[in-house]
Chain A
Amino acid sequence: MSMSTPSKSLKVIGDDTWKNKTEKVNAELFTLTYGAIVSQLCADYDRDFQKVNNQLYSMGYNIGVRLIEDFLARTALPRCENMVKTSEMISKCAFKIFLNMSPQVANWSPEKDTFSLILDENPLSDFVELPMDAMKQLWYSNVLSGVLKGSLEMVQLDCDVWFVSDVLKGDPQTELRIKLNKVLKDEIPIGED
């Protein structure tokens, strides 16, 4: 990949990878599979939705740490030098390639270390209506926060990722917040320091 990729070409990379290097599957099958997982978890944890959230998060984390390798293999993109670049890469490349959507990036913190992804369309929650008892606590798509957490950690970005609102809960939009804690240092062989 050439030195600094302007944002426009990130979109081109994302679109191109989606078109040419990605096998497609039926989105409904995906949505329903995810729905089956969530409902099974709710049953397993006796509708303790806090536990369901945590379990979805850790499942997402385990997906993310592997998915990042797949993403990098498809795109051969280099590391991002700042969070602005990271946000563009997530919305224009990663979400495009794996879910065929490009969430908007919004609500930057003044230090440019925290931003939100606004998910206008969320394939995970198509057809879903939360029952009353789940409305308050369940973050239905919480697997996504785990995926982002895991994959960002693998490229040395220690982040916190959480949902702040979800249309399923009656909020006007679905908003996912990402906060950079710190950039992890690359390891050096023992004796080199």
Chain B
Amino acid sequence: MFLLVNFASLENTKCTFDEISRTKISLLMAIYSFWIFDKHCNCIFDREWTLLSNSSSGTINSKQNEETAKLLYGMIYSLRSVTQKLSKEGTNNEVRSISIGKFRIHTYCTASGLWFVLLSDYKQASYSHVLQYIHSHIYVKYVTRNLLSPYDFAENKNETRGQGFRKINNRNFISTLESFLAPMILQ
């Protein structure tokens, strides 16, 4: 009887990948901010949560975060060059996470030069599946496949090498990302 009940309840909850990861993750951890950098060293998206109790608090694409974005970029950039120098030739050696005093930085870098960066507390060691999910199911879906959104956020030479200012402003992208990440902000 017990088994039957269990099966029935399993059948009723149609678990998709993101639902599973959300429920697992929400019990465990807190995230503080999320960033996307493009291959022109520009921050093209930033999201910072200020109140852990409120998933809609904080800032999106804020001017105030420009300096932080540059510092964060520089830190990951330097560590990436260090790891590439330390690795054997021909092997791929990516920075996955950086742990510092108060939080952990998770990075996911694509071959096309996009960096997805997430700042979290210490409770979870790896967010790579979360970042990969954001890339493949949210970024590609709402930015890459949106032909009215630019594929390259630097329009001319003056906006390359970290001097750009353009951001991802697609409503679909932002709202899907928000609802995907909301359960990971500590309740």
Instruction: Report if A29 contacts B (CB, 8 A).
Output: no
- Known contacts A73-B139, A77-B111, A189-B161; is A3 also within 8 Å of B145 by CB? no
Which size bracket describes the interface of B in this complex?
20 to 34
Query: Which residues of B in the span 123-163 have a Cβ within 8 Å of any Cβ on A?
Result: 132, 135-137, 139-140, 144-145, 147, 151-152, 160-163
Stretch at the interface among A64-72, A97-105, A138-146, A163-171: A64-72
Stretch at the interface among B21-29, B70-78, B96-104, B175-183: B70-78
Instruction: Report if B118 contacts A (CB, 8 A).
Output: no
On chain A, the residues within 8 Å of B70 by CB distance are 189
Instruction: Report if B68 contacts A (CB, 8 A).
Output: no
Chain B residue with the shortest CB-CB distance to A3: B91
- Known contacts A66-B145, A70-B140; is A187 also within 8 Å of B111 by CB? no
Instruction: Report if B167 contacts A (CB, 8 A).
Output: no
Instruction: Kindly state the separation between the CA atoms of A81 and B92 in the bound complex, as whole angstroms.
Output: 9
Instruction: Report if A46 contacts B (CB, 8 A).
Output: no
Contact of B161 among A3, A78, A187 (CB under 8 A): A187
Contact of B145 among A70, A155, A190 (CB under 8 A): A70
Q: Is the CB of A187 within 8 A of B39?
A: yes
Instruction: Kindly state the separation between the CA atoms of A155 and B94 in the bound complex, as whole angstroms.
Output: 16
Work out how many contacts link A and B, with CB atoms closer than 8 A.
73
Instruction: Report if A111 contacts B (CB, 8 A).
Output: no
Instruction: Kindly state the separation between the CA atoms of A115 and B70 in the bound complex, as whole angstroms.
Output: 41
On chain A, the residues within 8 Å of B112 by CB distance are 68-69, 72, 154-155
Chain A residue with the shortest CB-CB distance to B160: A187
Instruction: Kindly state the separation between the CA atoms of A73 and B112 in the bound complex, as whole angstroms.
Output: 10
Instruction: Kindly state the separation between the CA atoms of A69 and B116 in the bound complex, as whole angstroms.
Output: 14
Query: How does the 8 Å CB contact mask read for A86-101 relative to B, with 1 for contact and 0 for none?
Result: 0000000000000000
Instruction: Kindly state the separation between the CA atoms of A186 and B113 in the bound complex, as whole angstroms.
Output: 8
Instruction: Kindly state the separation between the CA atoms of A72 and B114 in the bound complex, as whole angstroms.
Output: 11
- Known contacts A65-B152, A78-B111; is A73 also within 8 Å of B162 by CB? no
Instruction: Report if B110 contacts A (CB, 8 A).
Output: yes
Q: Is the CB of A187 within 8 A of B135?
A: no
Chain A's nearest CB lies how many Å from the CB of B132? 6
Query: How does the 8 Å CB contact mask read for A101-115 relative to B, with 1 for contact and 0 for none?
Result: 000000000000000
Query: How does the 8 Å CB contact mask read for A1-29 relative to B, with 1 for contact and 0 for none?
Result: 10110000000000000000000000000
Count of chain A residues near B, Cβ 8 A: 25
Q: Is the CB of A3 within 8 A of B92?
A: yes
Chain A residue with the shortest CB-CB distance to B92: A78
Query: Which residues of A in the span 45-87 have a Cβ within 8 Å of any Cβ on B?
Result: 65-66, 68-70, 72-74, 76-79, 81
Instruction: Report if A133 contacts B (CB, 8 A).
Output: no
On chain A, the residues within 8 Å of B140 by CB distance are 69-70, 73
Instruction: Kindly state the separation between the CA atoms of A121 and B135 in the bound complex, as whole angstroms.
Output: 32
Chain B's nearest CB lies how many Å from the CB of A129? 32
Contact of A186 among B39, B73, B114 (CB under 8 A): B39
Instruction: Kindly state the separation between the CA atoms of A79 and B39 in the bound complex, as whole angstroms.
Output: 14
Instruction: Report if A188 contacts B (CB, 8 A).
Output: yes
A-B pairs with beta carbons under 8 Å apart, 28 shown: A65-B151, A66-B147, A69-B114, A69-B140, A69-B144, A69-B151, A70-B140, A72-B110, A72-B111, A73-B136, A74-B136, A76-B132, A78-B92, A79-B92, A79-B111, A81-B90, A154-B112, A154-B113, A155-B112, A156-B113, A186-B113, A187-B160, A188-B41, A189-B41, A189-B74, A189-B161, A189-B162, A192-B74
Query: Which chain B residues have a beta carbon within 8 Å of chain A's beta carbons?
Result: 39-41, 70, 73-74, 77, 90-94, 110-114, 132, 135-137, 139-140, 144-145, 147, 151-152, 160-163
